[in-house]
């Protein structure tokens, strides 16, 4: 199967990080999702019931990311991946990219983040 739904650029204010001020004030994060699922039925039927609701995926990912304060981006991204796979049986694989554009790094950089791919266990 090579079908993919993608949702890029979800902006969320959250309080993740190892620095004390990151947990207090928080900052902007950007999440990208790529969802592998069989879209053959929905591509023929044109029915929402035969696919995955983008809106519901965003709501699930946002809640998983924002509702708990994590020290590591890896853990926050893992929480999103777990929540998406738990909530949507049609999704076989999820790739979560978390961008932390204002990470406290003493350097000039364009972007920093993590990419995790998780596959449903049979």
Residues involved in catalysis? 100
Q: CA gyration radius for the chain?
A: 16
Angle between helices 73-87 and 54-66 (to 10 degrees): 140
For the chain, report the end-to-end CA distance as a whole number of angstroms.
Answer: 16
Neighbouring C-beta atoms of residue 48, cutoff 10 Å: 12
């Amino acid at each position: 199967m090579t079908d993919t739904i993608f949702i890029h650029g979800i902006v969320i204010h959250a309080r993740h990080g190892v620095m004390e001020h990151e947990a207090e004030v928080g900052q902007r994060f950007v999440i990208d999702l790529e969802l592998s699922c069989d879209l053959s039925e929905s591509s023929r039927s044109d029915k929402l019931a035969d696919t995955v609701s983008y809106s519901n995926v965003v709501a699930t990912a946002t809640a998983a990311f924002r509702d708990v304060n994590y020290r590591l981006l890896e853990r926050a991204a893992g929480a999103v991946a777990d929540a998406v796979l738990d909530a949507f049986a049609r999704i076989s694989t999820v790739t979560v990219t978390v961008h932390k554009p204002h990470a406290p790094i003493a350097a000039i950089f364009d972007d920093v983040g993590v990419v995790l791919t998780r596959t449903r266990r049979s």
